[in-house]
Structure 1
Amino acid sequence: MSEDENIRHTEKMKRIKAARDKMIAGMTEEKGLILVHTGPGKGKSSSGFGMIMRCIAHGMPCAVVQFIKGTWVTGEAKMLRERFADECRFFVSGEGFTWETQDRERDIAAAQRGWEIAKEQILDPENRFVLLDEINIALRYDYLDIDEVVSFLLEHKPPMTHVCLTGRNAKPELIEAADLVTEMTAVKHPFRDGIKAQKGVEF
């Protein structure tokens, strides 16, 4: 890079920094967020559990309520239960993926149990962050009432409690209610090449 190019780059970065600093200075409000991670790509739950680890690092008590994939032994469940049980409560309400249980009534009952636990954890004043992992799947199949879930989050969630809801096919009502929505896009996946789920990557 020539000296002139470096000078132009420096001036450009100064302008960008000034604009960013001004924008950030105007952001003074704090609130507990409703976050939604959805889409067909990998990383929805992984991102949610990443935020759980951030909360633990910041000394923020948190909880996980895991829907649907209850029988699957995951690294995050093992780690949180064995090493961070005091910092993060971990609940499982599902009995496995819907194509494995093949029993709608049992799936509905499990989802309803999970939702009751979720409401308790969200209302608990000690918790600062609650992850509702794969709840979007339960909502997609109408195991839970979307209007009830959205109404509870908007009307009863404590003002400074963050709640993250993960899973494909988030319903429009939930997306509308959320403060932050991220859609994971599937570009390429090893499943297509016949490669099974890998420990440490998938679970």
Structure 2
Amino acid sequence: MSSKGSDRMAGKHVTHERSDEEHAAKMAKKKAARDKIMAKKTGEKGLVIVHTGAGKGKSSSGFGMILRCIAHGMPCAVVQFIKGAWDTGERRLLTENFGDLCQFHAMGEGFTWETQDRARDIAAARAGWDKAKELIRDPRIRMVLLDEINIALRYEYLDIDEVVAFLRDEKPEMTHVVLTGRNASDKLIEAADLVTEMTLVKHPFRSGIKAQAGVEF
């Protein structure tokens, strides 16, 4: 290799080393800043958590949090407001394997266009909400997932003011409540501690693909 070629290779080596050193210094600075922030975050409280939006993943995220609770040995519960008639993978997994830690109450009878009976839908939603209040009031239960309750609220099967007031006034201090479903009420979003909106970018349903086991249920 010529002397010029050697010089170029040496220059690349020095540049690479300098880049590694700069990266390490940058990460050390970022870690120090992050540690300083985290040192101030010492509080704990039961959270009101909302998963909403047109994209997929709202219920899946909620069930993921339920599984975390189970992994930590924390008693938890699920109330399904709409999909109660569905034989879902989550329902099978939780009832067949973790019934000692997770109560599962399937209260809904399907989407409103399936039942075509508003009075029946309202009765099912009210029964689900009554069960939800009972579970939330129990201080032994650390997390309650109210799956698809936002749909029941959107169709006014339940009174949003009543739900928000209950979460504000009667939820035990350390109990987490997760509420899922698209079109979350502005009042619920305002009352929540954590809100995530799932954005729809692309969905196979629009290409003629039906709901499939392991993906949708």
TM over 0.5: yes
Query: Residues 148-172 of structure 1, C-alpha deviation per residue, up to 9 Å, x if partnerless?
Result: 0000001100000000000000000
The alpha-carbon deviation at position 98 of structure 1 amounts to 1.1
- The alignment status of 1:27 with 2:41, answered yes or no, reads yes
Query: Residues 127-159 of structure 1, C-alpha deviation per residue, up to 9 Å, x if partnerless?
Result: 000000000000001100000000000110000
- The alignment status of 1:125 with 2:139, answered yes or no, reads yes
Query: Residues 4-52 of structure 1, C-alpha deviation per residue, up to 9 Å, x if partnerless?
Result: 1111111111111111100000011100000000000000000000000
Q: TM-score, structure 1 length as denominator?
A: 0.99
User: SS of 1:143's equivalent?
Assistant: coil
Match of 2:64 in 1: 50
The alpha-carbon deviation at position 93 of structure 1 amounts to 1.1
Cα distance in 2, alignment partners of residues 157 and 106 from structure 1: 28
The alpha-carbon deviation at position 125 of structure 1 amounts to 1.6
Cα distance in 2, alignment partners of residues 180 and 92 from structure 1: 25
Match of 1:198 in 2: 212
User: SS of 1:70's equivalent?
Assistant: helix
- The alignment status of 1:104 with 2:118, answered yes or no, reads yes
In the alignment, residue 26 of structure 2 is paired with which amino acid?
K
1:5 to 12, 19, 24: 19
2:95 to 71, 81, 88: 81
- The alignment status of 1:72 with 2:86, answered yes or no, reads yes
The alpha-carbon deviation at position 179 of structure 1 amounts to 0.2
Cα distance in 2, alignment partners of residues 7 and 99 from structure 1: 62
User: SS of 1:163's equivalent?
Assistant: strand
Cα distance in 2, alignment partners of residues 63 and 163 from structure 1: 10
Cα distance in 2, alignment partners of residues 70 and 59 from structure 1: 25
Instruction: Specify the structure having the higher radius of gyration (Cα).
Output: 2
Match of 1:178 in 2: 192
Match of 1:63 in 2: 77
User: SS of 1:2's equivalent?
Assistant: helix
Match of 2:159 in 1: 145
Cα distance in 2, alignment partners of residues 41 and 16 from structure 1: 33
Percent identity among equivalent residues?
72
- The alignment status of 1:15 with 2:14, answered yes or no, reads no
The alpha-carbon deviation at position 104 of structure 1 amounts to 0.6
Which ranges of structure 2 fall in alignment gaps of 5 or more residues? Answer: 1-14
CA RMSD, 1 decimal: 0.8
Which ranges of structure 1 fall in alignment gaps of 5 or more residues? Answer: none
Runs of 4+ in 1 over 2 A off after TM superposition: none
